[in-house]
Structure 1
Amino acid sequence: MFNKFIHRPVFAIIISVVIVFIGGLAIKQLPISQFPQIAPTTVNIFIAYPGSSADVLVNSTLITLEQAINGVEGMRYIATDATSAGEATLRIIFEPGTDPNDAVIRVKTRVDQVMPLLPELVQREGVVITPIQPSMLMYVNLYSTEKSMDEKFLFNYATVKMIPEIQRTKGVARAQILGSRRFAMRVWLNPDRMRAYSISVEEVMESLAEQSIIGRPGRLGQSSGIAAQSLEYVLTYKGRYNEPEEYENIIIRANAEGESIHLRDIATVE
């Protein structure tokens, strides 16, 4: 057989060209992946319960979610982690090859079934469900040599400018900032003053929710469609408070004699 190729070199060249041509066509049909799917599909659930301890978070939220999610189709095991800062992470690991979108839908269906059983504050803060890989792909350090750009400025810049752009990148499941320097209004309650006035934390939170709101006052003079209306006024509301003095003036409790207890009497706002 080899003698034929030796005595007929043109025939051997033609066969070689045909093999190379067929190989060139076949290589385009081969599946190629820069990051092959070697890690199992993971769905991450982030839970926030401000003011609670790790034990309270486990008993009130995590146990309920674990019982509801356990046994979801394609699941291998569940891993949970709760901190004393009132935050918890629940990871559901699926079999390799499970579609991440299908896994999220299955988990979300189970979570929605028990959502009314969770504490009200947990429902308001939100239960965030995202598909993620079990390891981080990249860390980015942000710094500045300018004295005017302190840590808070850099944190706010990264939150407003960088994180949205990174999250819009194809293939990125989640981008987060390690550490907590977010701009917020902080209310430091004084337990001794609250005990003296017999005021609970729930009463303070209700007052904050009732008085610092985004209102929708409506309109005046809106046409009814029957008669012509020349003037129409759109009412505007100041909206949610954004200054410490405004929060300090929130009324926590008042009586018929005109006496009132403000937030500044039992807390420090900054």
Structure 2
Amino acid sequence: MNISELSLKRPILATVMNILIVLFGVVGYTFLSVREYPAIDPPIVNVRTAYAGANSDIVESQITEPLEKSINGIPGIRTITSSSSNGSSNITVEFNINEDLEAAANDVRDKVSQAARNLPQDIDAPPVVSKADANSDFIVMMAVQSRTKGLLELSDYAENVLVERLQTIPEVSAINIFGQKRPAMRIWIDPDKLNAYNISFADIRNALNRENVEIPSGKIYGENTEMTIRALGRLQTEKDFRDLIIFEDARGIIRLSDLAKVEIGPESEEFSWRLNGVNAVGLAIIPQPGANYIKIADEFYKRIEAIKKSQKGDFEMTTLIDQTKNVRRSIKEVEETLLISFSLVVLVIFFFFRNWLIAIRPLIDIPISLVATFFIMYIAGFSVNVLTLLGIVLATGLVVDDGIVVTEN
């Protein structure tokens, strides 16, 4: 007895099986990720190194090249791409598709640790090794502007308010900030005054390293008490830096204010981000591998609306790019195509059979077949994207053809 005979002899069993197929399909659809293109993620590892104050040539010769030579000996590497800019080095290592990402990242960390002894001793921090998604392009980019706030306040609002609220969106990997200006204590040294006081740059640097520290200070014990001592050694304000003693002898005291101008300003003034002639800060939403782009975008817009209602100030938030629009458009076109195909099937069958009951019958088996496809896609690890939607549209024609043949029989 084949499945056709079994279904004809036991219609209740066939009905229950169809219901189960639909349920499995619905469950599979809820777990499917939605993105524009299929997720083909080769193992990729990034190595980032910061070297403030160094130009691109120094970064390339003293950081990028030693790291590349060390990493190049790892087996399974497909390509190594590097870029050296003022103050930073970025190396992207792509492995073969069959390599394990965790093992590849560990191999890169080992090689970077071995090469660290050949790097300059005054780099900002050891190289940072991180795993990356090959398809980690942003899905939504927005701009934050204000006509009354400065870039420092704008950057602080973007980092401490917007990023804090948006990075908790499910399936979001990171939020990149563009045009951010972090506050820093800027010391503008006057070379003429250095020569007049016979002070060198090294003297100022040594004084800052010596005085701007906070070290453990121990405890004070009493008969019934125990208190921890905290020495406030960090320089916090402009006045603290101005009053810093650089040199002292019997003739007097030379403070930093005698040699330089001290003020709070942006950490870097080499770049800025503007939109329509107004200073702005950009935020880009980076999804996790296999994430549902539609859900992320919907939750993003929901939280932005909540932030706009509760914000205090004249901050303007504008969505610049939304990559999910193409995905939404593709899904809508597929839905329209399916509706058109269903309608044509009903009309063609009715035209030949002259019976509405027979004509409506394919509207039952066609959705069941299509919905069941989502469960197979989930088991196979596929996602809802342009190519899989195209496959569903093409498969609809086969299902329609089979439905007509079954109806004729």
TM-score band, normalised by shorter chain: 0.7 to 0.9
CA apart distance, 1:91: 1.6
Distance change in 2, residues 1:99/1:48 (3 Å)? same
Q: Does structure 2 conserve the Cα–Cα contact (< 8 Å) formed by 1:132 and 1:174?
A: no
State the structure with bigger RCO (CA 8 A, min sep 6), 1 or 2.
2
Of 245-254 and 231-240, deviating more is 231-240
Distance in 2 (CA, whole Å) between partners of 1:200 and 1:64 is 32
CA apart distance, 1:208: 1.1
Distance in 1 (CA, whole Å) between partners of 2:84 and 2:44 is 18
1:46 to 24, 45, 48: 48
Match in the other structure for 2:73: 71
CA apart distance, 1:19: 7.0
- Structure 1: runs of 5+ lacking an equivalent: 224-228
TM-score normalised by structure 1 residue count = 0.76
Q: Does structure 1 conserve the Cα–Cα contact (< 8 Å) formed by 2:116 and 2:126?
A: no
- Percent identical among aligned pairs is 25
AA partner of residue 75 (structure 1): I
1:269 paired to 2:262: yes
Distance in 2 (CA, whole Å) between partners of 1:17 and 1:263 is 86
Distance in 2 (CA, whole Å) between partners of 1:97 and 1:165 is 37
CA apart distance, 1:211: 0.5
Q: Does structure 2 conserve the Cα–Cα contact (< 8 Å) formed by 1:81 and 1:88?
A: yes
2:247 to 246, 253, 256: 253
Higher strand share: 2
AA partner of residue 45 (structure 1): V
Kindly report which structure 2 residues correspond to 1:81-92, keeping only aligned pairs within 5 A, or say none.
Answer: 81-84=83-86, 86-92=87-93
Distance in 2 (CA, whole Å) between partners of 1:166 and 1:96 is 32
> C-alpha offsets along residues 23-53 of structure 1, whole Å, 9 cap, x if unaligned?
5587568994435432433322222111111
Match in the other structure for 1:216: 216
Kindly report which structure 2 residues correspond to 1:1-270, keeping only aligned pairs within 5 A, or say none.
Answer: 10-11=8-9, 17=15, 20=18, 23-24=21-22, 32-35=32-35, 36-84=38-86, 86-96=87-97, 98-122=99-123, 124-134=124-134, 135-144=137-146, 147=148, 149-194=149-194, 199-220=199-220, 222=221, 229-255=223-249, 257-270=250-263
Distance in 2 (CA, whole Å) between partners of 1:103 and 1:168 is 28
CA apart distance, 1:192: 4.2
Q: Does structure 2 conserve the Cα–Cα contact (< 8 Å) formed by 1:45 and 1:127?
A: yes
CA RMSD, aligned part only? 3.4
Match in the other structure for 1:226: none
Distance in 2 (CA, whole Å) between partners of 1:180 and 1:196 is 38
Higher helix share: 2
AA partner of residue 95 (structure 1): N
